[in-house]
Amino acid sequence: DVKVTQSSRYLVKRTGEKVFLECVQDMDHENMFWYRQDPGLGLRLIYFSYDVKMKEKGDIPEGYSVSREKKERFSLILESASTNQTSMYLCASRVKWQGAPETQYFGPGTRLLVL
Amino acid sequence: DAKTTQPNSMESNEEEPVHLPCNHSTISGTDYIHWYRQLPSQGPEYVIHGLTSNVNNRMASLAIAEDRKSSTLILHRATLRDAAVYYCIQHLSGTYKYIFGTGTRLKVLA
């Protein structure tokens, strides 16, 4: 059974803290994604990683960075958390694009509250 | 900018068919349409995808308009376990970009 796991389901942090969200997939997928999900806005892409050490900015990268040192792990970093980063964060993975649509597999999400 | 539009919510009676609409008027010729659903406290999961022709799988059917500017996800017999938020997604061809709609919350009444 395919699996994407996220390090925490719920997280509470203070403004200005550095926050690490971890995502691990066991499917040997090349591509990984970080999205944030907000009411009325759907899912918006923060960062995408093609493969190890490869990344692309998504639609809302400001205030975030990412790290992909191993194929199975993709980390999202909030350099200095702010209250407007309170949200649900979803990680996903898929095999690399080869001309046909590929399913994205999502983790259960991390609900982050920044106080 | 690419955009997909869905109704915020819909209701259905159990064991009746449900038609969930989506508008994607900015779609280009090779962009695929995907549908995912998100059950409570879970991440989204794949339901179905298509390009031009109507598609069927064990979960649902996807009807795509001839001009491709809209599509409809069809659940043939809704069950209580189908209560979820359904997302219509435009996958920009050849890219990593998926344009998510805001989702339709489906309520199934017993």
Q: How many cross-chain Cβ pairs, A to B, lie less than 8 Å apart?
A: 48
| Chain A CB within 8 Å of residue B91 CB | yes
CB neighbour burial string for A61-89, b if at least 16 within 10 angstroms, e if fewer: beebebbbeeebebbbebeebeeebbbbb
User: What DSSP letter does each residue of chain B carry, written as one string?
Assistant: ----B--SEEEEETTS-EEEEEE-TT--TT-EEEEEEE-TTS--EEEEEESSS-EE-SS-EEEE-TTSSEEEEEESS--GGG-EEEEEEEE-TTSS-EEE---EEEEEE-
Q: Collect all residues of chain B within an 8 Å Cβ-Cβ radius of residue A43.
A: 44, 87, 98, 100
Question: pLDDT in tens for each of the 115 residues of chain A?
Answer: 669 999 999 999 999 999 999 999 999 999 999 999 999 889 999 999 999 999 999 999 999 999 999 999 999 999 999 999 999 999 999 988 777 778 899 999 999 999 9
Within 10 Å of residue A105's Cβ, how many Cβ atoms?
22
d(CA A90, CA A4): 10
Structure tokens at B109: 């009444």
Residues of chain A in Cβ contact (below 8 Å) with chain B:
4, 31, 33, 40-45, 48, 50, 56, 58, 90, 92, 97, 99, 101, 103-109
pLDDT at A109: 97
Residue type, A48: F
Query: Are the beta carbons of B43 and A97 separated by less than 8 Å?
Result: no
| Chain A CB within 8 Å of residue B24 CB | no
Structure tokens at A100: 């046909």
pLDDT along chain B (110 residues), means of 10: 90 96 89 94 94 90 94 95 96 89 95
Q: How far is B17 from chain A (nearest CA, A)?
A: 25
Residue with tokens 């209560």: B83
pLDDT at B95: 86
Q: Strand A105-106 and strand A87-94: pairing?
A: antiparallel
pLDDT at A101: 75
pLDDT at B30: 87
Q: How far is B15 from chain A (nearest CA, A)?
A: 28
Residue with tokens 């975030």: A64
Query: Are the beta carbons of A106 and B32 separated by less than 8 Å?
Result: no
| Chain A CB within 8 Å of residue B53 CB | no
Percent of chain B having pLDDT more than 90?
A: 78
Query: Are the beta carbons of B46 and A50 separated by less than 8 Å?
Result: no
